Structure 1
């Protein structure tokens, strides 16, 4: 059976910390996202535990009466529990070398393994259409698994929100950007 996994990056938020809420614009984007997803036959929703991800999918989940499952493997990649002085350069370097990690942080390889585990579990299940709500770094690392040309520039080009569909069959895995910002 072919599986469609809708990878959703959260809407605009007030910050990067786990409890950062959506901005007013982000709340409007969440409503637009719900309308966008309305005609897709999503049967299951799995979200990052971060508040901005849960708030992003809430209008759609409520309208469709779908329970949102929380999976900590979808949380944003931990760069460093302390501030990285030049974090943008660090991000750029970390897409070139997936082994780079700062003290207390997580490498791209480790984060990729987390999100790949979620995808593996979805593919092994019986649901045909699943929505996964996560973050920009995690979205980019996931897509990079299927296209090594994806990296820092694609991460920077993501919008809030953003939607990709990952289609998995016995023969292949392909992806397509659906959200037109």
Structure 2
């Protein structure tokens, strides 16, 4: 028997800062997400500490009666601390060159390794079915680690929310499937 990890991108938020809450539409999406997980076995839920991520999964955690854990490693990737007018071009470049590092930010490889370390910890715990909640860029890099052709274009096509299933077999082989259809 293998493990299942549901990777969830947060619902629609009012902004990018860590304290940005969900919008009214995002709150409704969080309820829809709880409906999505209603018949899914979930043993553990781990979220980014950002408000929008926590609010996205709270209805699911309440419905399941599961304590919501937060993990700083699931925080959004910082591309740069500069106000980049060409941030989209820089982000695309960072998908092409995983070691590209822009002032004040972390490289794609650093962010990817941070996300993968969470998954590796999940594989060591007893829970068989875990939900992790994070942000678009970090999720895209996590998926790219297991599916190398996942890149900038796939990141652009992520929705809020979004759900991917990572199935991990006994040999730690990981398969990736997108489950959410917005």
TM-score, normalised relative to structure 1: 0.98
Give the Cα–Cα distance (whole angstroms) in 2 for the partners of residues 164 and 67 of structure 1.
Answer: 21
SS of 2:154's equivalent in the other structure is: helix
CA shift at 1:79, angstroms? 1.1
Residue 157 of structure 1 aligns with which residue?
Answer: 157
Give the Cα–Cα distance (whole angstroms) in 2 for the partners of residues 82 and 35 of structure 1.
Answer: 39
Give the Cα–Cα distance (whole angstroms) in 2 for the partners of residues 170 and 43 of structure 1.
Answer: 18
Give the Cα–Cα distance (whole angstroms) in 2 for the partners of residues 124 and 169 of structure 1.
Answer: 13
SS of 1:34's equivalent in the other structure is: helix
Give the Cα–Cα distance (whole angstroms) in 2 for the partners of residues 176 and 119 of structure 1.
Answer: 16
Residue 117 of structure 1 aligns with which residue?
Answer: 117
Residue 68 of structure 2 aligns with which residue?
Answer: 68
SS of 1:94's equivalent in the other structure is: helix
Q: Which runs of 5 or more structure 2 residues have no equivalent in the other structure?
A: none
Residue 90 of structure 1 aligns with which residue?
Answer: 90
CA shift at 1:57, angstroms? 0.2
Residue 139 of structure 2 aligns with which residue?
Answer: 139
Residue 32 of structure 1 aligns with which residue?
Answer: 32
Residue 106 of structure 1 aligns with which residue?
Answer: 106
Q: Which runs of 5 or more structure 1 residues have no equivalent in the other structure?
A: none
TM-superposition CA deviations, 1:48-84 (whole Å, max 9, x none):
0100000000111111111110100000001112211
The runs of 4+ residues in structure 1 deviating greater than 2 Å are none
Give the Cα–Cα distance (whole angstroms) in 2 for the partners of residues 75 and 82 of structure 1.
Answer: 18
SS of 1:120's equivalent in the other structure is: helix
Residue 14 of structure 1 aligns with which residue?
Answer: 14
Residue 77 of structure 2 aligns with which residue?
Answer: 77
Residue 174 of structure 1 aligns with which residue?
Answer: 175
Aligned length: 181
Given that residues 147 and 176 in structure 2 are in contact (C-alpha distance below 8 angstroms), is that contact kept between their aligned partners in structure 1?
Answer: no
CA shift at 1:180, angstroms? 0.6
CA shift at 1:147, angstroms? 1.3
Give the Cα–Cα distance (whole angstroms) in 1 for the partners of residues 54 and 66 of structure 2.
Answer: 13
CA shift at 1:170, angstroms? 2.3
